[in-house]
Amino acid sequence: MTDIITILGIESSCDDTAAAVVQRINGKALVLSSVVVGQEILHEAYGGVVPEIAARAHAEQLDIAVEKALVQSDIKLEHVDAIAVTSGPGLIGGVVSGVMCAKGLAAGINKPLIGINHLVGHALTPRMTDTISYPYLMLLVSGGHCQFLAVLSETEFDRIGGTIDDAPGEAFDKTAKLLGLGYPGGPLVEKAAKNGDPTRFKFPRPLLDRPDCNMSFSGLKTALRRARDLLVKEKGGISYQDQSDLCASFQIAVADTLAEKANRAIDIFKKTTDSKNFAVAGGVAANTVIKKELENIAQKHNFTLLSPPLKYCTDNAAMIAWAGIERYSAGLVDDMTLAARPRWPIDHKAKPMLGSGKKGAKA
């Protein structure tokens, strides 16, 4: 007998409005549709995401994205087994928009509602794209997050290390803004770096003097700003070559830092398991220089580096639908009391890295 689970996923935690329909057939994933409506044009003038603008755009686009996903999948809404939605962490206006949309749909067809931690969506993506088994080591590296995780099951994650301040993607965006490159910053910095000298500026590799797997990227961004300001003071501005050299030097500093911390994370992970899988996901995983450095580290340890296709590394609803399939299979569903959460650590046992407040631990 064929075992088929069909889930509609909804994602709206930052600046991408997404919907997808994913099936699991006899243990393997089939992405029937994946619709992503970006907001780059809306935020470009500000050099970053404006939460109020993002929330309004989500409210306007969610039902359209869901309809497109259903049409492309050739699945009727009433035929899905459940609806999975990102219920945190993220920009609260966008998260609320997604949760309320999902609640309305679930109530309308009387099907289960499944709240998904956005980070879990990224962390489980390699199981959707590569059908790997638990456990595996995961580097989640994106615009808002950077963590090394031992992924033990759909509900168990051990944080081995993470950033104590800016995430790499955030640092890339701020670097692009400092150099007048535009938004989103990651691809633009990488493009400029291709024509640059990565050895010209001696930027720091933060926290490499510490034996743990924690990282920091705020000081690196500050070092780049100082280098830019010095060039402006000496020359009255910066040339295209200066811009490229700054990008290349910044990029290799991030890559070196992630590579060395990955080296340490693998050493720690190897002590508890025989698994040889090291996965990386999140928008920054698309950077070719960073990916190459991580591949070298994986090969050093005889590990296999798994990197999902770019469309599943950046924010998307297919990963949310897949995480929903995993939770649905384990009998883990929610009800209409599901709340939107701006903060939601993936490892509840670990001490907060970025502090806490009335809304809970940040990460």
Q: CATH code at 106?
A: 3.30.420.40
129 in any annotated domain: no
183 in any annotated domain: yes
* Short-list 113, 108, 97, 31, CA closest to 62: 97
| pLDDT at residue number 327 | 97
Residues 273 and 324 in one domain: no
106 in any annotated domain: yes
Residues 228 and 114 in one domain: no
Residue after which a domain boundary falls, among 293, 310, 327: 310
259's tokens: 């590579």
Residues 139 and 13 in one domain: no
Residue carrying structure tokens 């929610």: 334
| pLDDT at residue number 356 | 44
Residues 302 and 352 in one domain: no
Is the separation of the CB atoms in 171 and 221 below 8 Å?
A: yes
356 in any annotated domain: yes
Strand duo 157-162 + 277-281: pairing: unpaired
| pLDDT at residue number 282 | 85
Residues 142 and 267 in one domain: yes
Domain with 170 in it: 134-310
Residues 49 and 83 in one domain: yes
115 in any annotated domain: yes
Count of the separate structural domains present in the chain: 2
Residues 305 and 346 in one domain: no
No. of helices (H) and no. of strands (E), the chain? 11, 12
DSSP 66-135: HHHHHHHHT--GGG-SEEEEEEESS-HHHHHHHHHHHHHHHHHHT--EEEEEHHHHHHHHHHHHH-PPSP
Among the residues of 301-347, which ranges form H helices? 310-313, 318-329
Sequence-separated (6 or more) residues with CB below 8 Å from residue 166: 174, 216, 217, 218, 221
Q: For each of the chain's 363 residues, which pLDDT tens digit applies?
A: 468 999 999 999 988 899 999 999 999 999 999 999 987 777 777 777 887 888 898 889 999 999 999 999 999 999 999 999 999 999 999 999 999 999 999 999 999 999 999 999 999 999 999 999 999 999 998 777 899 999 999 999 999 999 999 889 889 989 999 999 988 889 999 999 999 999 999 999 989 999 999 999 989 999 999 999 999 999 999 999 999 999 999 999 999 999 999 999 999 999 999 999 999 998 888 899 999 999 999 999 999 999 999 899 888 999 999 999 999 999 999 999 999 999 888 887 877 765 444 444 555
Residues 98 and 30 in one domain: yes
Rounded Cα distance, 54 and 143, in Å? 15
Residues 55 and 198 in one domain: no
Residues 146 and 288 in one domain: yes
35 in any annotated domain: yes
Residues 320 and 304 in one domain: no
| pLDDT at residue number 338 | 96
143's tokens: 């615009």
229 in any annotated domain: yes
Residues 322 and 265 in one domain: no
Measured between its terminal Cα atoms, the distance across the chain in Å is 42
Rounded Cα distance, 30 and 19, in Å? 15
| pLDDT at residue number 113 | 98
80 in any annotated domain: yes
| pLDDT at residue number 284 | 86
